[in-house]
Structure 1
Amino acid sequence: MSIAGMAILLTACTSISNRLETTTTAANPSPEETISSSTEPSPDSLGNSTPRQNFSSAQTPAANREDYRSMDLSQLAGKTSLTGSDPNAIALSAFDNSDADTNSPTVDVSYPQPTQAIVILTQTGLKDDSVQDIRYRVDFQKNSSAQINEQWQMIWAGSQFKCYPGRGHQEWSTELCF
């Protein structure tokens, strides 16, 4: 194998290993699946490698906050707890509308910062006359103090919709279906 071929192969392997995105399903999320941080070497100005902490950021189109219809968290507070030890479980408790005839929701969790979590919960095939699919973005902030264990607090939530044919838009949008 030529040196150029090896360099291309190493570059591809490094690129693949640097992509870190956590996807869990609501059925069986495990603690290993919800962790999305890693330590990897980072070259300094002299080319030496030094450890650097990286946290995945939600770079998918589903993750842009401005693409969601903001929700009033005070309306959720009476129905479910907005604080807990697992952002995934809190989001499922607040927004999982599934029943036996609906597809299980998918849940994507990212940790852009050590004290920030973003959960994207997507439900498809809803039993509704106009809304076919719904997607929620839920932002969490980690709170820790000497008096309580580490807790995650829901600080923002938003939603997007896809409509059934003939009932509105067919792409993800903040526009309501009719």
Structure 2
Amino acid sequence: ALSQPATRSGYETINPKQFVADRKITVSNPKDIASKLFSSDRESEGRKSDGISVEYPTRETAVIVQTIIGLADDSVAGMRHRIELRLRQNKWEIVWIGRQSRCQPGRGHQNWASGRCQ
């Protein structure tokens, strides 16, 4: 079972189908998804750092964390996505996606958290 509430805390759950469709993700293994996320992110104005990690808590599970700091946005300073995958019948499937943000100074929370910036 992939119940990891502690690691999901502070994330806003988002729709995996929408996330995949918006980013035109057609690949199915964790490394290829991570690579696609990295290459499809064209916006770099104001960018301070881009990070992506892939971890395998077990042989059947993977977690991708994408962190972008320095967005060209008046209110949002950074965005983080957590994508959880599970291997089922030799195919990886996305089981959960969450989003966190960090606000610009004076526009809301300064730490990673769910919720919108002002």
**Interval of TM-score (by shorter of Structure 1 and Structure 2):** 0.7 to 0.9
Q: 1:170 aligned to 2:110?
A: yes
CA RMSD of superposed structures (Å): 2.3
Equivalent position to 2:55, from 89, 107, 110: 110
Identify the structure with the greater strand proportion: 2
Tell me by how many angstroms 1:128 deviates: 0.7
Q: How far apart are 1:104 and its partner, in Å?
A: 4.7
Q: Distance in 2 between matches of 1:64 and 1:93?
A: 23
Larger Rg: 1
Match of 1:88 among 31, 47, 65: 31
Does 1 or 2 have the higher relative contact order (CA < 8 Å, sep 6+)? 2
Note the residue ranges of structure 1 that are not aligned, 5 or more in a row: 1-62, 145-149
Q: Could you tell me how far 1:98 is from its partner in structure 2? A: 4.6
Task: Give yes or no for contact 2:102–2:111 (8 Å, CA) kept in 1.
Answer: yes
Give the alignment partner of residue 151 of structure 1, picking from 70, 91, 102: 91
Provide the TM-score with structure 2 as the length reference: 0.78
Structure 2 partner of 1:99: 43
Distance 1:104 1:170, change over 3 A: closer
Count of residues in Structure 1 that have an aligned counterpart in Structure 2: 110
User: Structure 1's 104 and 169: CA in aligned 2 closer, same or farther, altered over 3 A?
Assistant: closer
Q: Which moved more, 1:95-104 or 1:110-119?
A: 95-104
Deviation at 1:163, TM superposition (A): 0.4
Going from structure 1 to structure 2, the CA distance change for 1:128 and 1:121 (only over 3 Å counts) comes to same
Structure 2: gaps of 5 or more residues: 1-5
**Alpha-carbon separation, structure 2, partners of 1:173 and 1:122:** 13
Partner of 1:47 in structure 2?
A: none
TM-score under structure 1 length normalisation: 0.54
What secondary structure is seen at the aligned counterpart in 2 of 1:78? helix
Residues 67 and 81, structure 2, Cα contact 8 Å, conserved in 1 = yes
Cα distance in 2, alignment partners of residues 131 and 98 from structure 1: 17
